[in-house]
Amino acid sequence: APARKHALVTGSTSGIGRGIATALAAAGYDITLNGFGNPDDIAALHRELETFYGVKARYSNADMSKPGEIREMIEQAIADGGLDVLVNNAGVQHVSPVEAFPDDAWDRVIAINLSSAFHTTKHALPHFQAKGWGRIVNIASVHGHVGSTGKAAYVAAKHGIVGLTKVLALENANKGITANAICPGWVLTPLVKQQIEARVAENGTTFEQETEALLGEKQPMLKFTTPEKIGATVVFLCSDAADTITGSSLTVDGGWTAQ
């Protein structure tokens, strides 16, 4: 049997990253998980990928705000049978108007949501180039194309990652490597649940009311995309059918940016 490909997904212990890791495992990729969380839950996910899909799973606890840890994670992944697919997904949010935005929150969002993708990719590229094959998928957001109040650092980081994706595509156009961004609208994950709960606390409403309000404000389609569907989009971008799709940012946003 041909060797299985190996995909590393940053921030894959929760939400969208977890959906991507699961979809890639289901498609037969060995997986390196990364992210924070309860060690028992992470161990259970690790086992689930191996038992359900028969692939090899690994886990790195590297902090995506620390370039040294990122470098070690990528070097380890390459040493561990080679790396084929890099999904830059780890991300955090901080909501505040610019004049009140704490400096450390700005630095943290930029480090995790933008700079981490530079560092992972920088260390993965020589390996991809030597093999003549690699797939880079950056999980950006509709906020890579449009703004929203209160999200200065997030919107700046997501616009940045869309730009980084284009440069990666150009520099590697004839090296068997593609780089693309996926730009989701609302996906119901812990990151978004926190934002809905904050609105419930502020307005004295219910979770259902705030969910309806949240979707209705921005997204023509009044339903969430699921992590599984973002995972399926990543699998497609890694397939032969997508081997000339590069430098693009694919919106999966229920029409948000069509307006």
In whole angstroms, the minimum distance from the beta carbon of 37 to ligand NAD comes to: 6
Q: How far apart are CA 46 and CA 24, in angstroms?
A: 13
> Which is nearer to ligand NAD, 92 or 250 (by Cβ)?
92
Query: With respect to ligand NAD, which residue has the nearer C-beta, 9 or 177?
Result: 9
What is the set of active-site residues? Answer: 154
Q: Provide the token pair at 16.
A: 């969208």
Is the separation of the CB atoms in 185 and 171 below 8 Å? no
Contact between 11 and ligand NAD per CB under 6 A: yes
Per DSSP, helices labelled H in 38-134 are 39-53, 67-79, 103-110, 116-131
- Give min distance, CB of 64 to ligand NAD, in A: 3
Write the CB contacts of 51 (distance below 8 Å, at least 6 apart in sequence).
Answer: none
231 binds ligand NAD (CB under 6 A): no
Distance (Å, whole) CA 5 – CA 2: 9
> Judged by CB, which is closer to ligand NAD: 197, or 243?
197
Cα-Cα-Cα-Cα dihedral sign, residues 52, 36, 152, 136: negative
In angstroms, give the least distance from the CB of 78 to ligand NAD: 19
Pull the structure tokens for residue 24.
């890639």
CB nearer to ligand NAD: give 141 or 180.
Answer: 141
CB 24 within 8 A of CB 231: yes
Give me the helix-helix angle, 152-171 and 116-131, nearest 10°. 20
To ligand NAD, the closest distance from the beta carbon of 70 in angstroms equals: 9
Considering only 12-20, 39-47, 75-83, 202-210, which stretch makes contact with ligand NAD by CB under 6 A? 12-20
From residue 76 to residue 115, the character string flagging contacts with ligand NAD as x (rule: CB under 6 A) and all else as - is -------------xxxx-------------------xx--
Asked if 166 and 247 touch (Cβ cutoff 8 Å), the reply is yes
Decide: is 65 part of the binding site for ligand NAD (CB under 6 A): yes
Contacts of ligand NAD in 151-180 (CB under 6 A): none
Residues in contact with ligand NAD by the rule CB under 6 A: 11-17, 34-37, 63-65, 89-92, 112-113, 139, 141, 184, 186-187, 189-192
